[in-house]
Chains A and B, each alone.
Chain A
């Protein structure tokens, strides 16, 4: 019973050093130098590594401030609201593109896909041009109705951020949704309707269940991306809306309060990593056969 183990061990010992494993070294070095080392520095800073003993006292301090709590709340509310918005809008749009035959549907699906390639602040910039206080909409409304003040004023509130994030991240939901819709057998929908199911029942009972893996995967991806969104918040929300990434920026760049910035960064990282684990879990749990599409 025990004999194979020592044999195997001696075989491992006897084997000459495998040079091919050295190929791992360069990527590890790069990763370590550019990613893990700074991460460790940030972690150290947040724990108070400058001479004093490591402790969580800065965490206690920072986490107790209303500024941090407000930012955390904003971050979560905006991320959840944007993700829900993305899922709703994405589901409706994917539904129309997949099941309502109209000329150019494929082209539009492609176009939406290219949205993913655009930088997020571009949409924010476009939003300010259109909905901003000196934007197209407000200027023309003021000119038309002789208003003294811009009537449309949602852009610099959380609503503006949420709307911009929905615009930017909806394609991330639509891609897996379009893929999962294309796997639904058209015959299933036909049989369902011949059995007396109207469009709503078909969406609810045939299409939605088939789309759940894609919705979960797309939704958690959205959540992850919106929690870390920086550009849009900076462009649009800077005046009133403070989220965790923005707070890190404020503390580090504008107030030179590195310790607080590092604490907040660590919280943000923890939030992101747990969302990412959730995302992987969801993909593994539900997306087994669609994993390649998500």
Chain B
């Protein structure tokens, strides 16, 4: 019953949003505070109706990028477009955006319904419109029963729902979310993540720019992810592709956990091509491995081989292509999985061991597996396997970027 109502109200909000949405376009945007460049020649296009997550460590410029869209910081150069409109020089209140911030920022002296009505009142909507829209949006986030409460009487999760309703009430084409879940505890965060995904299914034309430092949130929610570091865009791509085939070391390590092995592409091209990419043969010490090739990696080059911990198996497949042998360092049980760390160092050729000493790679291989009935013991010798499709080469230049 309640969910029917929620769906109804979502549809009526969605109806208006069904008109073509507005994308966001950053064109060479540079932002500086007191001479310090915090966003450098940032270009990114968010398609209408898309959820784009911007992730990066703190100080990477991701929030600045969002604030530039909102109009709270003015770029020193470059343009920002929302839909067809160049908003670079518009004040925030003329940009028609919804915005949700980390600490909710509800207006403390207004009741929940007054908070949600705020944007509509600012737009001088008629009372009946305001009333209807407030009901609709509160129902959509499941907060209709709290309409007469004050923000201080709500929990963090409830406050964030109200903040979302407040942002959606003005039927924005673009919704900016600035770390919206980071003030919530883990359990509520997960349910809010589902909630946000549901909302976007119901408002498919809504373009969402989602800034977070949490890769799980980004991977769960976003169609595409932009990774930032030191004020620059480091990598961007569809979430799945970016996770599976990171284009540089930072992207590989920031988005999920990754093993990065220093390898050398073999000169003799033993490479084959498959339906979904080109493979290249590389040498890791004395071991020959097969992995997805990448642009910028030529025969004879030193590069990195990226393999996700969960793509490494302990079971010998019928026709193993890539196998590595190492000494078990640690086995940590985590309830629903086992974390195993292997030291590959002892089994490498002498030449690579020298390289590793030079801090250029890592002889440690981490893998996760479903809980093992008989987990290996530290000190055990273990052979592990991975498919060539799961391993991707990353150019060495990018490793130093």
Q: Which A residues contact B (CB, under 8 angstroms)?
A: 185, 187-188, 190-198, 201, 205-206, 209-210
Which residues of A lie under 8 Å from residue B110 when comparing CB positions?
Answer: 205
On whether A190 and B70 interact (CB within 8 A), knowing A195-B122, A196-B96, A201-B122, the answer reads yes
Are B93 and A198 within 8 A (Cβ)? yes
* B400 interface residue (CB < 8 Å to A): no
Contact of A194 with B71 in the complex, beta carbons under 8 Å: yes
27 contacts between A and B (CB under 8 A): A185-B105, A187-B102, A188-B105, A188-B107, A190-B72, A190-B105, A191-B101, A191-B166, A192-B122, A193-B71, A193-B92, A193-B93, A194-B70, A194-B71, A194-B98, A195-B93, A195-B98, A195-B166, A195-B167, A195-B170, A196-B93, A196-B96, A197-B122, A198-B93, A205-B118, A206-B107, A209-B109
**Inter-chain contact count A-B, CB under 8 Å?**
67
Assembled-state Cα–Cα distance A195/B101 (Å): 13
CB distance from A215 to the nearest CB of B (A): 14
Q: B123: CB under 8 A from chain A?
A: yes
Asked if A210 and B103 make an inter-chain contact with CB atoms under 8 angstroms apart, the answer reads no
Q: Tell me the bound Cα distance from A185 to B96 in angstroms.
A: 22
Of the candidates A185, A193, A196, the one whose C-beta lies within 8 Å of that of B170 is A196
B91 within 8 A of partner (CB): yes
**How many angstroms from the CA of A205 to the CA of B71 in the assembled complex?**
21
Task: Give the Cβ gap from B69 to chain A, nearest Cβ, in Å.
Answer: 10
A197 to B124, CA, bound (A): 10
How far apart are the CA atoms of A192 and B108 in the complex, in Å? 13
A197 touches B93 (CB 8 A): yes
What mask results when residues 161 to 184 of chain B are scored 1 for a CB within 8 Å of chain A, else 0? 001001100100000100000000
Q: Which B residues lie within 8 Å of A193 (CB)? A: 71, 91-93
**A173: min CB distance to chain B, Å:** 20
Instruction: Enumerate chain B residues within 8 angstroms of A187, measured Cβ to Cβ.
Output: 101-103, 105
Residues of B in contact with A (beta carbons under 8 Å apart): 70-72, 91-99, 101-103, 105-110, 118-119, 122-123, 163, 166-167, 170, 176
A210-B93 contact given A197-B118, A197-B122, CB 8 Å threshold: no
State in angstroms the CA–CA spacing of A286 and B342 once bound together. Answer: 63
The answer on a CB contact under 8 Å between A210 and B109 is yes
A89 to B71, alpha carbons, bound, how many Å? Answer: 30
Which residues of the other chain, A, contact B94 by a CB distance below 8 angstroms? Answer: 196
Q: A194-B92, A194-B93, A196-B123 are in contact. List 15 more A-B contacts (CB 8 A).
A: A185-B105, A187-B103, A188-B105, A190-B70, A191-B101, A191-B163, A193-B91, A195-B93, A195-B118, A195-B119, A196-B96, A197-B93, A197-B122, A198-B91, A205-B118
Cβ of A194: which chain B residues have Cβ within 8 Å of it? 70-71, 92-93, 95, 97-99, 176
Q: How far is the CA of A185 from the CA of B95 in the complex (A)?
A: 21
CA distance A205 to B163 in the complex (A): 17
- Cross-chain contact B118 with A192 (CB below 8 angstroms): yes
Nearest to A194 among chain B residues (CB) is B99
- B residues less than 8 Å from A188 (CB atoms): 105-107
List A contacts of B103 (CB < 8 A). Answer: 185, 187
| Chain B contacts for A192, CB-based, 8 A | 107, 118, 122
- Do B99 and A190 touch (CB < 8 A)? yes
A209–B166 Cα distance when bound, in Å, is 19
Tell me the complex Cα distance, A290–B109, Å. 15
CA distance A193 to B107 in the complex (A): 12
CA A158 to CA B93, docked complex, whole Å: 44
- Nearest chain B residue, comparing its CB with the CB of A185: B105
| In contact, A190 and B101 (Cβ under 8 angstroms) | yes
Instruction: Knowing A196-B123, A205-B118 are in contact, say whether A190-B109 is a contact too (CB < 8 A).
Output: no
Chain A residues near B123 (CB-CB < 8 A): 196
Q: Tell me, in angstroms, the Cα distance from A188 to B163 when the chains sit together.
A: 11
Complex: chain A residue closest to B100, CB-CB? A191
Q: Residue of A at shortest CB range from B163?
A: A191
A201–B117 Cα gap in the complex (Å)? 14
